[in-house]
Structure 1
Amino acid sequence: MEMNLKPQKADTTIFEGEGGGYYAWTAAKTPVVVEAAIGAGRLVLQPQGFALPHYADANKIGYVIQGSCTVGLILPEKPEEKVLIIEKGDAILCPIGSVTWWFNGGDSDVNIIFLGETSQSYTPGLFDYFFLTGALGVLRGFSTEFIAKAYHLNHEQSKHLVESQANALVVKIDAGVVNGFPHKCNCTKEEYVVNLDTDTESETDHTERVGLTPKLVRLEVEAVLDPYYSTTHQIMYVTKGGGRIQIVGLNGTRVLDEVVEEGHLIVVPKFFLVALMASDKGLECLCVSTSPRPLTMKIGGNTSAYKALSSSVLEVALNVSPEFIKNIKS
């Protein structure tokens, strides 16, 4: 199994304008996103930036790296707008087909990384977005006759509904309009958001909704994350600091040995072993497993398979002395 697992930063600008931009990892530079059926994108909202209402053909998790913003969320079959205020450290669950909008009402940029799986996407390795409004709005595809009948409008009103918003993806809102925007939560935030700064393990009932499990890995200066494997694919995004990563695949072959830094995305295939070593600046990494119930096994440390194996079994398996086994297990 050969995969190009080299860490990559976002290689494609999907949109960039006055209100912000959206950037993605594509098969051109990161072919493993197609092979592993995962997706990744980064949304930047400038002050008063507004991402137009849309839905996607994939389950994903949005993690706030910087700033805070207001999010509107409407789940399929539940036509109620949930308004949430999310901030740095929050991971919001975005189920497939849910309608969302995102607004930065603050005075500094908001930076959100989206990680998820694309097994149901039209474009392998990418999240396909369908916009309710704007230059790419889905209603533009219908004839005026259909719009008029569906929304009980006349011809001119139908054209106005479809064509009044000429911008796409992200717009900047005038200060006068901002005051009328929703600015308070109207629901229980914990039902839709996991704070990875405080929650070490995500609750299953949250992750079941999107079939994904997020966790935040923090390593102190020059610390090591012991080798482990997962039964599902993992997506890693370096949010702070840097270091080094090694991945070992079939037949004990090292398939990756690279320096990583902030902004790098790495895909770890299922059952491949991975280990991280932080630099002199430490390392913080968002890890998302493509399962609501990922199973992992450590190969190093106090809770590892090596520790659990009988001493006599290890002695024969490694072809070493009993004294050496004692050193390993201690």
Structure 2
Amino acid sequence: MEAKITVEKVDQTVFEGDSGGYYAWSNSKTPLLSDSKLGAGKLLLHPHGFALPHYIDSQKIGFVLQGAITVGLVTPNSPEEKVLLIKKGDVVPLSIGAVSWWFNGGDTDATILFFGDTSKALIPGQFTYFFVSGVLGLLAGFQPDFVAKTFGLDHKESENLVNSQQGALLVKLDDGIKFPEPSNHTKDKLYATIDDPSGEVVVKGRGFINYLTEKNLRVLGEIGLSARFVKLEGSAMLAPSYVADGSVQICYVGKGSGRVKVVGSEGKPVLDSKVEEGDLFIIPLFFSSATIADDCGMEVFSMVPSSKPIVGQLAGYTSAWNALSPVVLQCDFKYYFRIRTSFQVEEFRKYHNHPPK
């Protein structure tokens, strides 16, 4: 019995208010999350929305879906705060245990999608956040004498410190608060753009694919994750492929719509579904998948819990079909090739690799 794959929209509201909201895909609705030890969530920040400083129990990647966000990062035991200004199409990796804050200083909403590896998380398939301050903050759990000794305060001052922030998770800040300027030389070290149309694989009139691995963003090697962005023009197809190193894929449709098919070891579709903006689906280990965009085109963000994944192609120039000799193809596809010569097989392969426009 092969894994059951479903296509799901975000179903759990963790927090919602005038500052924005945080939403998650739950294990109950998407059980493959816990089975695959992956987590998925989405942060919406309205203008002047501020996510309080926190750390998380998982390695994760943030994809900016819309807007621009100022982010502060402090790694464990580091005396330095790194400040980033990330915008739509940027990807920022986040290390487990690192403290971060998120602020929307613009005039429009900002949304960031999070995918992560929850193999070390408190609850596999879910992210757990630990806030430094606020009504759910860690300081609130310590008695005033602990806080007083920690920060060199008297009893009254420690009580005022703990109770000063009455918000939880997200708060809306007043106009005029000036946040730090972005740190110098952070791009290409702490974050990168993934929706660049001059991508790693570009097919004119059909779309492009971009990969972010430890090869082009070193911090991904430290957290063991990688990212991919696929843009398909109207009616274009992403040919069948699989992750050859045995990594699972988690995918999100950021724009447009299309059809996704996933095939498992028994040669039968385990997913054949229409997908649209906001849908999430998971491709299990070694399963092969293909995507065809609708007339409107389609954009898909995905993450693999490996910093240097190996993607195997089932069609195209780098596929096994291109490498196999004509006689092997004749034997492998006996019915189709039984009356064809080696020359005709070679011509078929050329068409397969470079179909006419």
Please give the range of the TM-score, normalised by the shorter of the 2 chains: over 0.9
Partner of 1:329: 349
- Determine if contact 2:82/2:182 at 8 Å carries over to the other structure: no
Selected match of 2:303 from 288, 295, 298: 288
Partner of 2:10: 10
Partner of 2:169: 169
Partner of 2:86: 86
CA distance in structure 2 between the aligned counterparts of 1:328 and 1:226, rounded to whole angstroms: 17
- Determine if contact 1:58/1:121 at 8 Å carries over to the other structure: yes
Amino acid at match of 1:64: V
Q: Is the aligned partner of 1:227 residue 2:237?
A: no
Partner of 1:123: 123
Shift, 1:152, TM fit = 1.1
CA distance in structure 2 between the aligned counterparts of 1:185 and 1:105, rounded to whole angstroms: 16
CA distance in structure 2 between the aligned counterparts of 1:13 and 1:216, rounded to whole angstroms: 26
**Where do 1:120-199 residues align within 5 Å?**
120-176=120-176, 178=177, 180-198=178-196
Amino acid at match of 2:31: P
Partner of 1:299: 314
- Determine if contact 2:11/2:26 at 8 Å carries over to the other structure: yes
Amino acid at match of 1:13: T
Amino acid at match of 1:302: Y
Shift, 1:328, TM fit = 3.7
Amino acid at match of 2:46: Q
Q: For the aligned residues, what is the CA RMSD?
A: 1.4
- Determine if contact 2:57/2:129 at 8 Å carries over to the other structure: yes
TM-score by length of 2: 0.89
Partner of 1:71: 71
Shift, 1:327, TM fit = 4.8
TM-score by length of 1: 0.96
CA distance in structure 2 between the aligned counterparts of 1:293 and 1:172, rounded to whole angstroms: 39
Secondary structure at 2:266 match in 1: helix
Q: 5+ unaligned residues in a row in structure 1: which ranges? A: none
**Where do 1:196-207 residues align within 5 Å?**
196-198=194-196, 200-204=210-214, 205-207=218-220
Partner of 2:266: 251
CA distance in structure 2 between the aligned counterparts of 1:3 and 1:127, rounded to whole angstroms: 23
Secondary structure at 1:148 match in 2: helix
- Determine if contact 1:84/1:187 at 8 Å carries over to the other structure: no
Q: Is the aligned partner of 1:215 residue 2:228?
A: yes
Shift, 1:3, TM fit = 2.6
Secondary structure at 2:211 match in 1: coil
Cα deviation digits, residues 16-61 of structure 1 (max 9, x gap)? 0111000000112111100111010000000000000000000111
Work out the percentage of aligned pairs sharing the same amino acid. 45
Shift, 1:144, TM fit = 1.5
Shift, 1:201, TM fit = 3.2
Amino acid at match of 1:81: E
CA distance in structure 1 between the aligned counterparts of 2:130 and 2:264, rounded to whole angstroms: 37
**Moved >6 Å (runs of 4+):** none
Amino acid at match of 2:212: S
**Where do 1:255-274 residues align within 5 Å?**
255-274=270-289
Amino acid at match of 2:188: E
Mean Cα deviation higher: 271-280 or 153-162: 153-162
Secondary structure at 1:307 match in 2: helix
Shift, 1:150, TM fit = 1.3
Cα deviation digits, residues 157-215 of structure 1 (max 9, x gap)? 11112111111011000113x2x322433442221001002363324123112211111
**Where do 1:98-117 residues align within 5 Å?**
98-117=98-117
CA distance in structure 2 between the aligned counterparts of 1:213 and 1:139, rounded to whole angstroms: 34
- Determine if contact 2:213/2:227 at 8 Å carries over to the other structure: no
CA distance in structure 2 between the aligned counterparts of 1:115 and 1:259, rounded to whole angstroms: 22
Partner of 2:204: none
- Determine if contact 1:4/1:30 at 8 Å carries over to the other structure: no
- Determine if contact 1:132/1:138 at 8 Å carries over to the other structure: yes
